[in-house]
Copies of this chain bind each other. A is one copy, B any other.
Amino acid sequence: MLKLAILGFLYDRPLHGYQLRRHLAALTGHVRPISDGTLYPAIKRLEADGLLVRETEPGTAAAPRHTLHLTGAGRTALLDQLREPEPLDISDENRWFTLLAFLRQLDDPAAQAVVLRRRLAFLAEPASFFYDGDRPLGAEEFADPFRRGLLLIARATSEAELAWLHATLAELEGALTD
């Protein structure tokens, strides 16, 4: 997840760790900045895998800045992850939204394929939540306002996404048949 996001941001332009942290904070909702203890080891992992290189700028600011650049392997790794041939797990919202943030890096047919897979996984999703014994409960059966809230919010999100999926697929269809 973090790996995907780091590669995605660096694809646009080289950044140093601190800028990267700000970008990541924005992506995750502006509230939970990825902690340093998560970010810097992740950068090291990517460096060890040869997906990025650091260029040290001495004397620029207080601490020695390390500007991070994607390597060719890094760019390939990002595009591979975006294309992701396996079916897209709907319950992994974080992964999907991160993917969405960088999907424009793919060409139209590849992006379309990803969006189509998402719609497929989406439509296959069973709508039930919670059980009474072994019987799944429908949304209307909840006396509990909190669980009802959970379902209402989940539904609103689903509907918004489905609407967007359709609009975007139509748009891509248009672009591809021109």
Interface residues of chain A, those whose CB is within 8 Å of chain B, are 22-23, 26-32, 89-93, 97, 100-104, 111, 121, 125-126, 128-131, 136, 144-147, 149-150, 152-157, 159-161, 164, 168, 171
Contact = CB atoms under 8 A, between A and B. Distances in A.
A30 to B, nearest CB: 5
- Which secondary structure characterizes the binding site on chain A? helix
Contact of A157 (B27, B92, B129, B157): B157
Closest 6 CB pairs of A and B: A156-B160, A29-B91, A32-B91, A31-B91, A103-B146, A157-B157
B31 A147 contact: no
A97 B150 contact: yes
Contacts of A97: 150, 153
